[in-house]
Chains A and B, each alone.
Chain A
Amino acid sequence: MSTDEVESTYFRRTSRWKLIVVLLIIALIVTIIVSLNVGYAQISFTNILAILGKHFPFLNGFVDSSQVLPRDEAIILQIRLPRIVAGVVVGAALAASGVVYQGVFKNPMADSYLLGVSAGAAVGATFSLLFGAGFSFFGLRLVQIAAFAGALLAMFLVYSISRVGSRVPVTTLLLCGIAVNFFLYAIVALLEVIAGDELHAIVFWLIGGFSNVLWSDIWAITPFIVIGTVATYFYARDLNMLALGEDTAQHLGVNVERTKKILLVLASMVTAAAVSLSGLVGFVGLMIPHITRLVIGPDHRILFPTSTIIGAIFLVVCDAIARVVASPFASTLELPVGIITMLAGAPFFILLFRKKKDSYAL
């Protein structure tokens, strides 16, 4: 390849990136509309579009919604759409924070649950399911508040244990995260043992799913995720340099300790918000950044937005599958989406392992 070609490829890169993001957003919208069609009740695409159009400020003048049954409208707007929007938000949040963790820890095997966020949320949620059912606050149910608080507490616990002076070395963070995770999961296990009737709810929460998501939950949680994700994107270039190593990043002018703190706090906040909405949906935060990096490359300026959108698409698709996959056996049974993501995640791991087997061999 001639040298001029290399340069022009690089200059076209920005517009190529924009194109990729636009295409992915279109793909996300298509996925949303298609998955609105998926479910026990048969609702045609025409009606789905009519219902959506009716509620879109600029489109409602052009839409003929006279054929739409009020029952269908209620199913789409009050049952399916909140689930799907929750899927978009949670999938985006987990993938986004996964990218951040993998970048900061310079390790493609890191995921969004690394720093005790999942275990903290699990302890909070389990406690509230056992002892505080029915309580709510500003439209949020106690289980969500408790999960969010538990996640943030666990993250700060890990963070403050692993701090050495003013520095937070990633190795100690990683080890403390693992230790705190184990400790908190032991508490969850203890609570499960004494749970009795509430065990079913706890298990469902731990697997992760969207079956009871309400609009009010989404309105309360989404701002954390949007703000956290957008703020993180400002640090995309710093993430590139952190991925080269902390010393290198510092030599290139990155304020490493401060940037690391900001990024980890933002990513943990985003994860905490996500799990408080959905429970512990696994593998999205590990797998989506990984796959995206294989296709798009490691540059966080494009990796971060594409991972976020692909995470959203992936979780919406998984949830659609979860809604209908069990229907041949029991027409109204809906699986928690966490089962689907994990069923897809484990084979991915094995595939990855087989592909990179040589580099693991000693």
Chain B
Amino acid sequence: MLRLVLLNVNGVECRYGSVKVIEDVSFSVKEGDFVGILGPNGSGKTTLLKSISRTLKPHKGTILLNEADIYTLKGIDVAKQLAVVPQDTNIGFSFAALDVVLMGRNPHMSRFQIESSKDMAIAKKAMMVTNTWQFAERPINELSGGEKQRVIIARALAQEPAILLLDEPLTHLDIINQLEIMDLVKELCVKEKLIVLAVFHDLNLAARYCTSAIMLKKGKIFAAGGLPEVLTSENIKGVFNVNAIVKKHLVTNSVFVIPLSPQKPPLSKKCAIHLICGAGTGTALMKVLLDEGYSVTAGVLNVLDTDFETAQFLKIPAATEAPFSPITEKTRKTNLAMISKASMIVLTSVPFGHGNIQNLEAAKEALEKGIPVFVLNEVPIESRDFTQGRATALFDDLKAKGATFVKDQTELLSRLNVSEEKLGLAKEGTAKIFNHLKPGEVHKESDITDKHEKSKGGPENQ
């Protein structure tokens, strides 16, 4: 039999006393939708679920279940269609887990009925799929948090609902249980055409399972729609005020999110650092150096290289070369121009081949020009030299010419900071230029000079 289940939320506004918690929330979902409700603490996610679960009557607006207002329907009729897994469950009495799951059958039973074998079969099935049947007879208040949560999910499934509301259902679960439960819910969503509305704190879990998402900010919908359209780094920045990298994962084929630490107030470091890296060896350093307050440039990087993508994301100016191509003369010169503007050079443990050996030569040139070079020597050069010894020779040369070799990132940073203090006094002039610029604004040599001019410029530039 075909029955289309629809949930419509129209202009809902909820208040606690006189405080508006959610306002003007409208959306509709249909069977088979797996909707993630996302947002920071206090954005009204749980309140929204409460109003849909008939716990908190909206001040304004309606919530329609198959076109009937859930607040005019009888509670027991709503419970036949809609099950809730709350945030935390504290059960004071020692009901057996099976008793708790059987209570999920309540909406389907009349007042004087006792559970039938059919009810028992449904409860057993719900407990089997949630992996809780083995402790069916144990008292619920003696189970662990994760076990208890799975029992509560089993109870919700025993209601045989068309809509499942989950309020941070995974808070108490370890990672394997999180995945198992979500896989199960997803399967029900796909096979049984369940509507699932779930509040998530973990954006990656939401990304992995939801088909669509609603992002709340201060009680209002900030973004809603298909998951890839909602879960963007712009929206994450807008709602959570956090910079995040959003990418499609190669293995799970779903979007994944890497949040970055909230931006600290920039430290007033005066030096510019040019990073010679590639193949992902500079990725971690870029963020660290920016956080330390340095202006950072990088090169030469091949387009599509991990370091290139990171530099783009962090808006770090870089000398770039076409994908999988050896460094051309033109790019080499751009790189050298960048190097000559930098106060210090950092060379990461990047492997060297014939395509990028010029980068190593560039470091040597920098040293010859009197710019300090710091070599992060985490991997011995011999094992990453693919130039039949040429790179190793250059490396020895660097050592002979006075490059500073450091063994790890911590040592690098402390060396850089010491060096920066000395240079800061000596290179006041250069530093002034960089002080006017934020990282990311430097793209070409001309940028630096133009902006320098502008900052000194008269009223015609204002």
Q: Assess whether A244 is in contact with B106, with CB atoms less than 8 Å apart.
A: no
- B405 interfacial contact with A, CB 8 Å: no
Q: Assess whether A3 is in contact with B133, with CB atoms less than 8 Å apart.
A: yes
Could you say which residues of chain B place their CB within 8 Å of the CB of A255? 74-76
Query: When A6-B137, A237-B106, A299-B99 are in contact, do A253 and B92 touch as well, CB less than 8 Å?
Result: no
A5 to B273, CA, bound (A): 72
The closest CB in chain B to the CB of A234 belongs to: B111
The closest CB in chain B to the CB of A299 belongs to: B99
Query: When A10-B98, A234-B111, A244-B100 are in contact, do A251 and B83 touch as well, CB less than 8 Å?
Result: yes
Which one, B112-120, B277-285, B326-334, is touching chain A?
B112-120
The closest CB in chain B to the CB of A243 belongs to: B93
The closest CB in chain A to the CB of B91 belongs to: A244
The closest CB in chain A to the CB of B104 belongs to: A252
A240 to B93, CA, bound (A): 9
Q: Assess whether A251 is in contact with B111, with CB atoms less than 8 Å apart.
A: no
- A247 interfacial contact with B, CB 8 Å: yes
A7 to B122, CA, bound (A): 12
Could you say which residues of chain B place their CB within 8 Å of the CB of A299? 95, 99
Q: Give the Cβ gap from A3 to chain B, nearest Cβ, in Å.
A: 6
Interface range for A? 20 to 34
- B53 interfacial contact with A, CB 8 Å: yes
A interface residue numbers (CB < 8 A to B):
1, 3, 6-7, 9-11, 14, 106-108, 234, 237, 240-241, 243-245, 247-248, 250-255, 293, 297-299, 301
15 A-B pairs in the complex with CB atoms less than 8 angstroms apart: A6-B137, A10-B115, A107-B92, A108-B93, A234-B111, A243-B92, A244-B103, A250-B53, A250-B55, A251-B54, A251-B83, A253-B77, A254-B76, A254-B106, A298-B94
Could you say which residues of chain A place their CB within 8 Å of the CB of B77? 253
Name the 6 nearest CB pairs between A and B, nearest first: A253-B79, A253-B76, A298-B93, A253-B107, A251-B84, A252-B106
Q: Assess whether B92 is in contact with A108, with CB atoms less than 8 Å apart.
A: yes
- B70-86 interface code vs A (CB 8 A; 1 in, 0 out): 00001111111011101
Q: Assess whether A254 is in contact with B91, with CB atoms less than 8 Å apart.
A: no
Could you say which residues of chain B place their CB within 8 Å of the CB of A253? 75-80, 106-107
Could you say which residues of chain B place their CB within 8 Å of the CB of A6? 98, 133, 136-137
- B90 interfacial contact with A, CB 8 Å: yes
Q: Give the Cβ gap from A9 to chain B, nearest Cβ, in Å.
A: 8
- Point out the residue from A237, A252, A297 that lies within 8 Å of B111, measured CB to CB: A237
The closest CB in chain A to the CB of B161 belongs to: A251
Could you say which residues of chain A place their CB within 8 Å of the CB of B80? 253
The closest CB in chain A to the CB of B112 belongs to: A234
Q: Give the Cβ gap from A229 to chain B, nearest Cβ, in Å.
A: 16
Query: When A253-B79, A255-B75 are in contact, do A248 and B86 touch as well, CB less than 8 Å?
Result: yes
Q: Give the Cβ gap from A12 to chain B, nearest Cβ, in Å.
A: 12
A98 to B16, CA, bound (A): 33
A3 to B127, CA, bound (A): 11
Q: Assess whether B103 is in contact with A241, with CB atoms less than 8 Å apart.
A: yes
- Point out the residue from A11, A241, A297 that lies within 8 Å of B120, measured CB to CB: A11
Q: Assess whether B75 is in contact with A254, with CB atoms less than 8 Å apart.
A: yes
Q: Assess whether B91 is in contact with A252, with CB atoms less than 8 Å apart.
A: no
Could you say which residues of chain B place their CB within 8 Å of the CB of A293? 93
- Point out the residue from B75, B79, B106, B120 that lies within 8 Å of A7, measured CB to CB: B120
A14 to B117, CA, bound (A): 13
Could you say which residues of chain B place their CB within 8 Å of the CB of A7? 120, 124
- B89 interfacial contact with A, CB 8 Å: yes
Could you say which residues of chain B place their CB within 8 Å of the CB of A237? 106, 109, 111
- B51 interfacial contact with A, CB 8 Å: no
A14 to B115, CA, bound (A): 10
A240 to B92, CA, bound (A): 11
Q: For the A-B complex with A10-B120, A251-B54 known, give 18 more contacts whose Cβ atoms are closer than 8 Å.
A: A6-B98, A6-B137, A7-B120, A9-B137, A10-B115, A106-B93, A108-B92, A237-B106, A243-B92, A244-B95, A250-B54, A251-B82, A252-B79, A254-B75, A255-B75, A297-B94, A298-B94, A299-B99
The closest CB in chain B to the CB of A102 belongs to: B93
- B159 interfacial contact with A, CB 8 Å: yes
A1 to B134, CA, bound (A): 9
Query: When A3-B133, A234-B112 are in contact, do A248 and B94 touch as well, CB less than 8 Å?
Result: no
- Point out the residue from A10, A234, A248, A254 that lies within 8 Å of B89, measured CB to CB: A248
Could you say which residues of chain A place their CB within 8 Å of the CB of B133? 3, 6
Q: Assess whether A240 is in contact with B103, with CB atoms less than 8 Å apart.
A: yes
A27 to B117, CA, bound (A): 33
- B212-246 interface code vs A (CB 8 A; 1 in, 0 out): 00000000000000000000000000000000000
The closest CB in chain A to the CB of B113 belongs to: A237
Query: When A3-B133, A11-B120 are in contact, do A245 and B91 touch as well, CB less than 8 Å?
Result: yes
A247 to B75, CA, bound (A): 12
Q: Give the Cβ gap from B313 to chain A, nearest Cβ, in Å.
A: 43
A51 to B53, CA, bound (A): 62
- B128-154 interface code vs A (CB 8 A; 1 in, 0 out): 000001001100000000000000000
Q: Give the Cβ gap from B116 to chain A, nearest Cβ, in Å.
A: 10
Q: Assess whether A252 is in contact with B78, with CB atoms less than 8 Å apart.
A: no
Q: CB within 8 Å of A: which of B233-265?
A: none
The closest CB in chain A to the CB of B86 belongs to: A247
Q: Give the Cβ gap from A237 to chain B, nearest Cβ, in Å.
A: 7
Q: Assess whether B117 is in contact with A11, with CB atoms less than 8 Å apart.
A: yes
Q: Give the Cβ gap from A204 to chain B, nearest Cβ, in Å.
A: 37
The closest CB in chain B to the CB of A258 belongs to: B75
Q: Give the Cβ gap from B112 to chain A, nearest Cβ, in Å.
A: 7
The closest CB in chain A to the CB of B50 belongs to: A247
The closest CB in chain A to the CB of B117 belongs to: A11
The closest CB in chain A to the CB of B99 belongs to: A299
A258 to B229, CA, bound (A): 44
A243 to B111, CA, bound (A): 17
Q: Give the Cβ gap from A276 to chain B, nearest Cβ, in Å.
A: 30
A240 to B155, CA, bound (A): 14
Q: Give the Cβ gap from B135 to chain A, nearest Cβ, in Å.
A: 10
- B178-193 interface code vs A (CB 8 A; 1 in, 0 out): 0000000000000000
Could you say which residues of chain B place their CB within 8 Å of the CB of A298? 93-95
A148 to B117, CA, bound (A): 45
The interface centre, meaning the residue of A1, A10, A107 with most chain B CB atoms within 10 A of its CB, is A10
A6 to B79, CA, bound (A): 27
Q: Give the Cβ gap from A108 to chain B, nearest Cβ, in Å.
A: 7
Q: CB within 8 Å of A: which of B5-49?
A: none
Could you say which residues of chain B place their CB within 8 Å of the CB of A108? 92-93
Could you say which residues of chain A place their CB within 8 Å of the CB of B90? 245
A234 to B114, CA, bound (A): 12
